[in-house]
Each structure stands twice: as C-alpha cells, then as structure tokens.
Structure 1
Amino acid sequence: MALVVAGCSSPDDDKSDSSGFESITIEHEFGSTTIDSEPKVVVTMLGSWTDALVALDVPIKAEYVTEGYSGENNKFEWTPAHESEVIPYLGAESISVPQLAAIEPDIILAGYLGSEDEYKRLRQVAPVIPVMQKDAVMDSWQDVTLTAGKIFGKQDQAQSLVDDAEQQLTDFKTAHPNAQGKTFSFGQLNAEGQIGLIADENDPTTKLMTSMGFVLDPKIKEVAEGQSRVLVSAERTDLLDSDLLVLWPLGGDPAAFDALPGWANRTAVKSGATVFVNNNNASALSNPTVLSVPFALDLIAPAAEKIPA
C-alpha cells in the first residue's frame, strides 16, 4: 500500500508557514495539489475522508453527503457525532461554486469527481484532493486515513487507526476459519427484478471482502467478461450460488428476493449465510472507511458463522 504524499520542504528550501506547517504535495489523478499552510476550514465530499478526520479529531466545517445513501438523517451510524454543516448533494456536478465559496474552505477533500473539468471548477474555490490513485474511482480507506494524518500532522495517530482496523480484519479471519477461501457475491435487486452484481477484483467491496478471507465468485467474473459490474435477469439466480451472499434490495424489502426463481435452493440461502444491506448501511461495504470497517465486520460475522466447513 503506497502513500501518495510527498513532502516538499528541505533545509535549503523552507516552505514552512509561521505555525511550523511544512508544505506538502499530494499526487492525484489530475496532477498534484500543494498545501502551503495548515488547513483550518475543511470541506469533505466523501465518507472515507469524513471518517478519517473525525477519528483524528480534525474539525470539519462542512460535509457534502449523497442524498438518500448516507445513513438515517444523512448520518452514518458508525460515525461518531461531530459538529459540521451537512449538505446533501447528487454528485460533484450539482455543487454550486458560490455556495461552496461561501464556506471559505482552505481545502476540499473530494474523492471521485467524475472529470477533470469538475476538478478545475472546484479548484477555483480552494485546493482540491480528488482520487489520489491513478486509474481508480476510489482510494483505499488506508490511503485516505494516512494521507489525512500527513496533511494535519497526525501521522502516528493515523497509522495507529489503520493498524487497529487491519488487526480487526486479521482477528475476523482467525475467528471464522470456515469462511476462509469461500466465495461471495454482492448483488443489488432493482425494481425491474434485475440483479446487479459486482464483478471486479478492484472494487472497494471486493477488496474489503477479500481482506476478510472471501473470494469473489469466479462465475460472476466469467459472465461479466471484463466488466466491473454485470446486470442479469431474475432467472440467473444460479450466479448467486456462492457460499456467502451480500444482498441489497433497492426497494428496501429483503423478501423481494424470495420471488426469484430457484432462490430457496441457493447454497447461502439454505445455510443462512446471507446478509441484507440497505441504503443507510451499504456504504460500509461499498465505500469502506477507517470507522466503518468494524461495523462491516459485525455485519458479516453472523453469516460467516453459518458457512459450513
């Protein structure tokens, strides 16, 4: 895991401000962003950044959250209470630059922005950190946490947070030996009865499940033919014959899966190794954070315990 932050100061080229802050440059998908002074007014646009800052006790002035998918009342249950202005939005393109500028941010911790044009639009207001990893749509929760520690001078605390969460992942594997090497599928059921399946080893959900010891069901990767996700008809429940199923009924009712042909005969359904998520908590798996990892482990554990040897 590479941390994509580089210090820019040296004894011969001291770029420290009066508070002792050393200028740093963060490389990212659209180039790099240099931070010359310690950010005091912070805006976040992604849960992993928000959780990292909350865990590091860094104040957040405002946080943009995805309407309808950010927990009850736009607060995730794994994120401790904290003071900030919560602004629901529907993606970077919906952000009003004047509204953002009125916050007078020193830094915008954004994550996925969709395009370089959006990055440049927001950069008019303050330095922006989009996705740091090249050719990715999301940075790992480890890199986000460690980068936050670097920006705000809390490297040791950030490393400790990452180490603790990774230890919990290791403990999970030890506590659930029957789950190790077993297949999983993550599926969304839409209103038309179609099932959307994750088919990418690099998807954040896949990476988190892999860190628990599971493997993405190869049948899904085969059908996807290189796509990161694949949409299949309700009749293809044979693709959900994994050892563990994580299921997201977009209509909100897990009973909707019962109507799918052959559902009762699926391996995980028969063993009870199924997990149902909803709009309020699915982000714990789809956008893992340093604070949501323990929540995700608690979510998966009861199903993992039912996987036969």
Structure 2
Amino acid sequence: MATSRLLRLLAVTVVAALSLSACSTGPSDGAGTTTAGSAAEADAAAFPVTIDHAFGQTTLREIPERVATVSWVNADVALSLGVVPVGMPIDSYGGNENGSTPWKDAKLEELGAAIGTNGAPVQYSEADGLAFDDIAATDPDVILAAYSGLSQEDYDTLSRIAPVVAYPEVAYGTAWQDSTRIIGEALGLSGAAEQLVDTTEQAIDDAAAEHPELDGTTFIYGSLTPGAADSVSVYTANDNRPRFLTELGMVQANVVTEATGGSEAFFIPWSAERANELDSDIFVTWVADEDAAEAIAADPLLGQIPAVGRDALVTTSDDTLTLSVSAANPLSLVWALDAFVPLLAGAAAGR
C-alpha cells in the first residue's frame, strides 16, 4: 500500500488544517504491529472487498496492515481477531489507569502489545470529538467505525486520511455480531469472525443455561436519575444492552416495544409522570452510587415503577461493568458474564 500511503500522508496536512486538535506524535519505533502469531491468517484472495455502510461504500483493495479505530467496540473486535490497532481511543468512561479495560489489557498482553510497551497502540482522547490529527499521525490503511456515531462531516474528514468502514445503518445501533462480521470482512478474517461470533454466543447460551430463572423474565433497561429534567429514559431493542439480555432468554417489556414503534433510536425519553407504566419483572439501570439507588426508591415518581416497588431494581455503579455491556463485543461480553448475569438472575429469581 505504498502509493496509497503516500497520498494519505499528503492528506494529513489537509486534515490538520481542518481540525482543531493540538499537534500530536505518531507511533514510536516498532509500534503499530497489526498481526500476531495467534491470529488467523488473513485471506488475501478475498480482496478487493467492498463494504456497504450508512455513507455509501468503502473498497479495500488489499489486506490493511495498519488499522486505526474510533469510538467503542471497534478496537476490541480487532483485538479479538488478533489484530493490534496502530491507534485506538482512550477508554475514559469505565477505563482503568491505562485508559483501557481489563478485557482489552488481557488481549493486548496475550498479543505482546501491552499498554506502555513498544508495539502498543497509540491512544488518543475523544473527549472533545474525533482526534483527526492523532488518527492521521498513525498513518492507517483503514479506519474502523463499524460501531460509532459518525456524522457525514466526520466520515468525509476521516476519509481524507484512509478508507473508513462506517456503521451499516444506525448510529450506535450496530449489533455486536454485525460489528464483528463487518470488521472481520475488512481485515480479511471473515472466517475467524464468524467463528468468534459462534463461540461468544455459545458462552452466552452457557451462562443462560446456568440461570434458568432468566428465561422469559421481562425487563426494561434504562436510565433513572432522580431530580433531573430528563430523569427517565429507556433503551430500545436497537441497543446492545437490551440485545444482550434477550440473548440470555429474557424478554423486553411490551411497554418499551410499543413505545419504540418503528423508531431507529437506541433510546427513548420517558416522562417521570408516567413511570408507573414501565411495567416489567425487573428494571436495570446504572447509578452513580448506593445513595442514588436509594434515592430512586424514595422518589415519589420513580418509586412507582413496578419493579422498583417489588425490589427488582438491578443497579450497578461499576462503570467498567456497565461499559462491558454498553460497548458489547466478544471480549467484553465474555468478561461480563461472571459479574453481570448473577445480578440479573438474583432479581429474576424473586419475580
């Protein structure tokens, strides 16, 4: 990809002028290794590959050697396929002292690219939006955004750096299975991606079999913040959080399904005055701390949610655990099974 890389190096100057981020440095010597001995062999014969997405089509003419990612999920999927990105976002929410996650750190170490070592990915912050300069400095052959919220402007700017594999239809709505298959196709690892989906789904099925009380339990996965103007919102079937629970044999409450209609939104706001209508066996939500959980039960409106009144409110203030389900991918979901599923099962057992 020498010729195309030269063209993209010229584009770096253009991108730098377009973006407002500060000057950055590229990978250190030896950084950016994208394959590992434990990874499946990429299929060169599969190229050129054309991938359809929300902004049109992207064609990759040969196996990408340098892979950059944006948003959640994409770096995790690449790593799960044995490909170490040259650049990936810092995990600010739910991240550890490395700006990473336990499941990502474990896989990086397995692939010989632990954070802070030579060969580790460059990390860039997305706290103020996409880090265009930092991404360009990694000199990627492809930018993975199969799960993301790219705007048309974002896509156009990133495309000046390298071919972009964007989400297929809905921003932040790509199922983890689809993200895995799309990224597998982009990296010439479709067979490995399909096997990874199968093994991850089997792990979820095995966890569900250990907790038969989950089967048929109705749920609402939402956000409850007492006192806030938008104190209630619920995630729809377009989001990976409810998808994960349905994969465990649970059933999204009819009230959410009916309210969603044909909307492609991954969440919908809900009036706190109608909290009593949110009927389900259990209600799942993130909370800031234990006091926040108690405040939900004491709130005159939120306390009317049927599951709250039955002590079937599942809360977690662990940002890392919340991230493992919110940013669902083969690495995070397997990590989440031991910690998250027992919380659900405990509430379901008393329904």
* Pairwise TM-score range, normalised by the shorter structure: 0.7 to 0.9
Q: Report the Cα distance in structure 1 between the residues aligned to 2:296 and 2:269, rounded to whole angstroms.
A: 15
- Which of 140, 146, 162 in structure 1 is aligned with 2:181? 146
* Matching residue of 1:28: 53
Distance 1:254 1:75, change over 3 A: farther
Q: Is the Cα–Cα contact under 8 Å of residues 273 and 303 in structure 1 kept in the other structure? A: no
| Aligned 1:287-306 pairs, distance under 5 A | 287-298=327-338, 299-306=340-347
Q: Which amino acid aligns with 1:71?
A: G
Q: Is the Cα–Cα contact under 8 Å of residues 272 and 303 in structure 1 kept in the other structure? A: no
Asked if 1:53 is matched to 2:66, the reply is no
Q: Unaligned 5+ residue runs, structure 2?
A: 1-43, 109-119
Q: Report the Cα distance in structure 2 between the residues aligned to 1:143 and 1:64, rounded to whole angstroms.
A: 21
Asked if 1:76 is matched to 2:112, the reply is no
Q: Report the Cα distance in structure 2 between the residues aligned to 1:20 and 1:224, rounded to whole angstroms.
A: 43
Q: Is the Cα–Cα contact under 8 Å of residues 216 and 251 in structure 2 kept in the other structure? A: yes
Q: Is the partner of 1:86 in helix, strand or coil?
A: strand
Q: How many residues align?
A: 287
Q: Deviations over 1:87-117 (max 9, x none)?
A: 12136xx334333222211111123243212
* Matching residue of 2:214: 179
Q: Report the Cα distance in structure 1 between the residues aligned to 2:45 and 2:271, rounded to whole angstroms.
A: 59
Q: Is the partner of 1:72 in helix, strand or coil?
A: coil
1:233: how far off?
5.2
Q: Is the Cα–Cα contact under 8 Å of residues 90 and 125 in structure 2 kept in the other structure? A: yes
* Matching residue of 1:200: 236
Q: Report the Cα distance in structure 1 between the residues aligned to 2:346 and 2:188, rounded to whole angstroms.
A: 40
Q: Deviations over 1:109-139 (max 9, x none)?
A: 12324321210111001111110x2245332
* Matching residue of 2:13: none
Q: Report the Cα distance in structure 1 between the residues aligned to 2:184 and 2:305, rounded to whole angstroms.
A: 48
Q: Is the Cα–Cα contact under 8 Å of residues 243 and 273 in structure 1 kept in the other structure? A: no
- Which of 82, 87, 102 in structure 2 is aligned with 1:62? 87
Q: Report the Cα distance in structure 1 between the residues aligned to 2:54 and 2:281, rounded to whole angstroms.
A: 36
Larger proportion of strand:
1
* Matching residue of 1:245: 283
Q: Is the Cα–Cα contact under 8 Å of residues 76 and 281 in structure 1 kept in the other structure? A: no
CA RMSD, Structure 1 to Structure 2 (Å): 3.0
Q: Report the Cα distance in structure 2 between the residues aligned to 1:271 and 1:95, rounded to whole angstroms.
A: 41
Q: Is the partner of 1:25 in helix, strand or coil?
A: strand
Q: Is the partner of 1:39 in helix, strand or coil?
A: coil
1:295: how far off?
3.0
Q: Deviations over 1:21-60 (max 9, x none)?
A: 7321111111111111222221111332211111122121
TM-score by length of 1: 0.79
Q: Which amino acid aligns with 1:304?
A: A
* Matching residue of 2:314: 274
Q: Unaligned 5+ residue runs, structure 1?
A: 1-18
Larger proportion of helix:
2
- Which of 224, 230, 255 in structure 2 is aligned with 1:189? 224
Asked if 1:254 is matched to 2:293, the reply is yes
Q: Report the Cα distance in structure 2 between the residues aligned to 1:265 and 1:117, rounded to whole angstroms.
A: 41
TM-score by length of 2: 0.71
Distance 1:96 1:77, change over 3 A: closer
- Which of 126, 133, 146 in structure 2 is aligned with 1:89? 126
